[in-house]
Amino acid sequence: MCNQRIESINKELEELAAGAREAEDEIRKIRENTGGVDTFQEYRVKLKSREEYEQEVKTRAGILTGQFGAEADDLNANISFWEEKNSGPP
């Protein structure tokens, strides 16, 4: 009777340890996907910085579009287009 109880407790501990490892893996994945931040405040700061960067990219793309036109809605395609326009004869 006592041995069965010990075995039952050991099995339960193993299951809890496995669950803890899975939770740690999930936390690690979340940190990797959020840029390695540890707190919500750090996430908000990085998010705000990213949003400001994206806005700056849009602003500069708008200036280039105004100066040289646009070939597509895709930024990468337009960058190639602008580079070609800029490298050609004046």
Q: For every one of its 90 residues, what pLDDT tens digit does the chain have, with 9 covering 90 and above?
A: 788 888 888 888 899 889 899 999 998 888 788 777 788 898 899 899 999 999 999 999 999 999 889 988 888 988 998 888 888 665
Question: Which pTM value belongs to this model?
Answer: 0.56
DSSP 57-83: HHHHHHHHHHHH--S-S-HHHHHHHHH
Return the amino acid letter for 17. Answer: A
